[in-house]
Structure 1
Amino acid sequence: MTPPAEPTPPHGRQDWPVWAIPGLLTLAVTFAGIGHAQPWRDELATWSAATRTVPDLVRLAGTIDAATGPYYLLMHGWTALAGTSPTALRLPSALAMAGAAALTARLGARLAGPRAGLLAGLLLAVLPGTSRYGQEARPYALATLLAVLATLLLVGALRRPTWRRFTGYAVAVAALGLLHLIALTLLAAHALVVLLVTWSGPAAAGIAAPPGPTRPADSAAREAANPAPAGTRVLWRWLVALLPAAVLVAPLALAAGGQRGRQLDWVRLVRLDDLAALPGGLAQSGVVGGVLVGLAALGAGRLGRRALLPGAAVLLPVLLLLAAGTAVPLWVTRYLVFTVPFACLLAGAALAGVRLAPALAVVTLAGLLGLPDQAALRRTHEWPRTAPVDYAGVARIVADRQQPGDGIVYSPRDSWLFPDLGLAYHLGARRPRDVLVVRDQRQRADLWASECDRPAECLAGVDRVWLVVTGRRADPLAAVPGAKGDALRGAFTVRQVWPRPGLTVTLLTR
């Protein structure tokens, strides 16, 4: 196969459709049904953290979830302005994914040509995974945006290595690390490209500025007046650009490392079948993930050396997390969402090798294949989607039937399903008194509350108790362990049971 000619990206006002069309399409797709699925467990953690005071947020970061602390601080400011409805919580992620699609198109145009960039952005827009993480109040969409932005700024800085360009890159990398520590594995790909540029120049790394008559005359004049520094100076400037990220992220990484055993106690060591499931998990559709991998492989072959940066941006983070995950429980599919735009860039390069109409047909086909998953993720964000947790349904049952003086009890209290946060989100001040709590989440600087050591005494004076247990239970009262279960069984009888997906709510009377 004859390699394609070096791309000649458009300049000035003519290039806006390349990035604007994917950005607007992504915005439309992620806005569709953005508030339909109720917040799932991770989003409930975001809501709980973001609605605390700044001092409480700092204390929370010292106890658990330090790695997500900067995102919680960002969401604290956002929710103060926009509120805490599902749509409001998810809006920053939707905007970030739209920005990521636009920047993916721009990066693709610079590395592989305008058509490849446009198709890459369009493909990213129609992936179910883009909707999934663009409709989630978690930091993954913002990290995806910053990963593409940092890479785009690096390409510009390596082509014209000025301090101003490296300063923008430094800011993007620091923000990326603050929002998602694992996304800094992207720097392995950046390091590879920087070293190649240092040794052999931009052409060897596949990021050389394309020649062509469309390059503006003033741009050529500036480059002639400011020739590229020697290779070692490029390397030096890149290393200096990493210093702000190192200074800001190091304390965060140390704190997060100390919390890993508690924060990730639900994660197991990685297995080879996890790697096989990665494309489907990232795309949120097995068939669409397979299509993306196949197109990306074809695009890598077509691009040749220009596939180095996007290819490394996909493979190196995956391989690094895979290697770490064999020794430490770290492998979580969604942690690698930031690699998806680079796979789309390679896939866009493959599609750019055919006429535009067939290429757009392939993008449309990928979107159609993902429609069942698009519909499913708007019903629930839980994974697998066959195991939803209906916090809102339980909240409606309690709200419709509660009486003054009612209490509420949760079991288990330390569950990652956060049944207490789910009821607190949907009921607010209308929820019954949490009769066993002695220190709530804010007082503990945690995501879980502390309960009293003598449950029978704490239950004294309460005649009706709403018991919320995780899972579907035929006998919910029997499922409560320990002293709490003994106290409930000794003083209360079951009046009525309402099983809901993922939860069971029971009315107990004395």
Structure 2
Amino acid sequence: MRETAVWLAPAVLTLVVTGYGLTGAQLWRDELATWNAASRSVRDLVRLAGNIDAATGPYYLFMHFWTALAGDSIVALRLPSVLAMAGTAALTALLGRRLAGARAGLLAGLLFALLPGTSRYAQEARPYALASLFAILATLLLVDALCRPGWGRWIGYAAALAALGLTHLIALTLLAAHAVAVLATHPAGLTAGGGDRRRWFWVPAVLPAVLLVAPLALVARSQRGRQLQWVELVRPSDLTTLPGGVAQSSVVGGMLVGLAVLGAARLGRRALLPGAAVLLPVFLLFVAGLAVPIWVPRYLVFVVPFACLLAGAALAAVPLPGGLALVVLAGLLGGPDQAALRRTHEWPRSAPIDYRAVAEVIAANQRPGDAIVYSPRRSWLFLDFGIEYQLRDRRPRDALLVEGAARRGDLWATECGRPADCLAGVPRLWLVLSGRHTDPVAAVSGAKGAALRDGFTVTQVWQRPGLTLALLTR
């Protein structure tokens, strides 16, 4: 088997699979936050990181410069994730070849390419695909540095580790697996051979990443109350749903776990590194999640390539046509989930949020002098971001806006404290609400709702998936 084919075939397959239907699902709430943050100045991004989303700050900074070059279309926003997942597939194959042979590496990379979870996070403008790339890259460089010690290799490992931490703080739990590999396994146990007289260079190689990421981690820790208030403490039953969560398919996730267990048994000592790279991050996040609300399955997407590596070792035990047939079977089993995630990124898939449909109604019916109001404003749905992305400069004036989110250094804007005064003189008003409401104005609470009920009459209501739009006239 040609060496190039081992990594090139998975990379190309990943590009084809993840590129298909790339614009099918609208930007969802998290991606809208990415788009809005990326459109801010560097100074505004620093201010944002000081208040919320510090952990994602480096990714927002990267996307700021990326969108300046590539634009902010759906394709442009998601392209870095697509390329990162293609790179992850290639590196998974290369690491699999080092640890388990060329056939295992090829099958591992191909399996990774066909997972619904690979498409899900490749088609999302968030940092999880980049975290997967840097996780597998850092691990491959670690194996290389242990087997062929040299300053250049350790520097490359340190750089990849720093990039991993800046991309996704929780992905640094992978260091536990790297430590196990360094402490418990001689390089001859990691690959087919090689010696290591300077494996303890691992310690100074890790220090730059730790020192670089530590301030970011401290700031992010102080923001946990705002950032993760929607997360609950973990329960043992959450472990059973994790494979389906990261693979984005319960059936494929179960198949992946089964194959990984068989592959670990087949590899023996060589399974230590990839096995630890799967189990230790899960264990550490689970233990932390017992005390603080931090357990979110997608935070562990970066362990999937290592599970695929173990699964590839199991698939390599049968002739290549049989292994390829099982990979294709996994792809077919994940077909319904692949189709569903290309319709919406929301969960459940049957509950999309159709910002585009609401924006189209506004664009087709608005008049000069119209204004717009959102309810609720401080929502993780980011109603204002969704309509702004779709309409840009064509959107109606935000009637209650006092201070924008960028100026506040936040993800939410400040609204007028006296809504009746701010709405004075507005002849027609577009009201955008989350959820389905037959009486939209009655669904708005507080002074905002009172001002709408006292000053306006509902003229027409449009129901769109996940949203209600109402036209109010004075």
TM-score by length of 1: 0.92
* Structure 2 partner of 1:349: 313
Q: 2:106 aligns with which of 99, 118, 138?
A: 118
Q: What runs of 5+ residues in structure 2 fail to find an aligned partner?
A: none
Say if 2:272 is the partner of 1:284.
no
- 1:143 corresponds to which of 131, 146, 151: 131
Work out whether residues 159 and 209 of structure 1, in 8 Å CA contact, stay in contact via their aligned partners in 2: no
Alpha-carbon contact 1:314-1:340 (below 8 Å) kept:
yes
Q: Quick check: 1:24 aligned with 2:12? A: yes
Paired amino acid for 1:477? V
2:187 maps to a residue whose letter is: P
Report the number of matched residues: 474
Q: Which amino acid aligns with 1:202?
A: P
Distance 1:271 1:209 in 2: 40
Measured in 2, the distance between the counterparts of 1:327 and 1:499 equals 41
Q: Which runs of 4+ in 1 moved over 3 A?
A: none
Which amino acid in the other structure matches residue 81 of structure 1? Answer: L
* CA-CA distance at 1:161 after TM superposition: 2.0
Trace 1:39-58 onto structure 2 (pairs within 5 A): 39-58=27-46
Alignment of 1:255-334 (within 5 A): 255-334=219-298
- How many Å separate the matches in 2 of 1:209 and 1:367? 31
Query: What is the CA–CA distance in structure 2 between the aligned matches of 1:290 and 1:115, rounded to whole Å?
Result: 22
**Alignment-derived partner of residue 410 in structure 1:** 374
Deviations, residues 260-280 of structure 1 (Å, cap 9, x unaligned)? 100111111111221111111
* Rounded Cα–Cα distance in structure 2 between residues aligned with 1:246 and 1:290: 34
C-alpha distance after superposition, 1:56-86 (max 9, x if no partner): 1111111110000000010011101111111
**Map of 1:68-217 to 2, 5 A cutoff?**
68-197=56-185, 201-203=186-188, 206-210=189-193
Which residue number corresponds to residue 450 of structure 1?
A: 414
SS at match of 2:291: coil
Q: What's the secondary structure of 1:268's corresponding residue? A: coil
Kindly state the Cα deviation for residue 405 of structure 1 after the two structures are TM-superposed.
0.5
Task: Say whether 1:65 aligns with 2:50.
Answer: no
What do residues 181-222 of structure 1 show as CA deviations (whole Å, max 9, x unaligned)? 00000000000011114xxx323xx31444xxxxxxxxxxxx
Q: Report what 2:403 is aligned to.
A: 439
Aligned partner of 2:354 in structure 1 is: 390
Is this contact kept in 2: 1:22–1:102, CA < 8 A? yes
Does the Cα contact within 8 Å between 1:108 and 1:118 map onto a contact in 2?
Answer: yes
Give, in whole Å, the separation in 2 of the partners of 1:469 and 1:228.
62
Contact 1:41 1:416 in 2 (8 A): yes
- 2:285–2:295 contact (8 Å) kept in structure 1: yes
CA distance in 2, matches of 1:315, 1:114: 24
Residues 428, 471 of structure 2: 8 Å contact kept: yes
Query: Quick one: percent identity of the two aligned structures?
Result: 70
In the other structure, the counterpart of 2:423 is 459
2:389 pairs with one of 414, 420, 425: 425
Q: 3-state DSSP class of the match of 1:175? A: helix
Contact 1:127 1:366 in 2 (8 A): yes
- How many angstroms apart in 1 are the aligned matches of 2:420 and 2:247? 49
Contact 1:108 1:116 in 2 (8 A): yes
AA of the residue aligned to 1:318: V
Give the Cα–Cα distance (whole angstroms) in 2 for the partners of residues 285 and 228 of structure 1. 41
Question: 1:281–1:333: 8 Å Cα contact kept in structure 2?
Answer: yes
Aligned counterpart, 1:486:
450
Residue of structure 1 equivalent to 2:196? 228
The AA in structure 1 aligned to 2:87 is G
Q: Deviations over 1:355-403 (max 9, x none)?
A: 1111100000100111111111111111211111000011001111111
Q: Which residue of 2 aligns with 1:245?
A: 209
Residue pair 1:196, 1:202 contacting (<8 A) in 2 also = no
The code of the aligned residue for 2:91 comes to: L
Query: Matches of 2:191 and 2:333 in 1, distance apart?
Result: 36
For 2:51 and 2:168, the matched residues in 1 are separated by 18
Q: Tell me how far apart the structure 1 counterparts of residues 58 and 129 of structure 2 sit (CA, whole Å).
A: 14
1:497–1:506: 8 Å Cα contact kept in structure 2?
Answer: yes
Which digits, 9 at most, give the CA deviation of each residue in 1:101-155, with x for residues without a partner? 0000000000000000000000000000000000100000000000000000000
In the other structure, the counterpart of 1:3 is none
Residues of 2 paired with 1:120 and 1:241: CA distance?
28
Gaps of 5+ in 1: 1-9, 211-222
Deviation at 1:228, TM superposition (A): 3.2
Distance across 2 between alignment mates of 1:376 and 1:138: 19
Q: Distance in 1 between matches of 2:187 and 2:163?
A: 26
Secondary structure of the corresponding residue to residue 508 of structure 1: strand
Query: How high is the TM-score relative to the length of structure 2?
Result: 0.99
CA–CA distance in 1 between the matches of 2:125 and 2:110?
23
Q: Counterpart amino acid of 2:3?
A: D
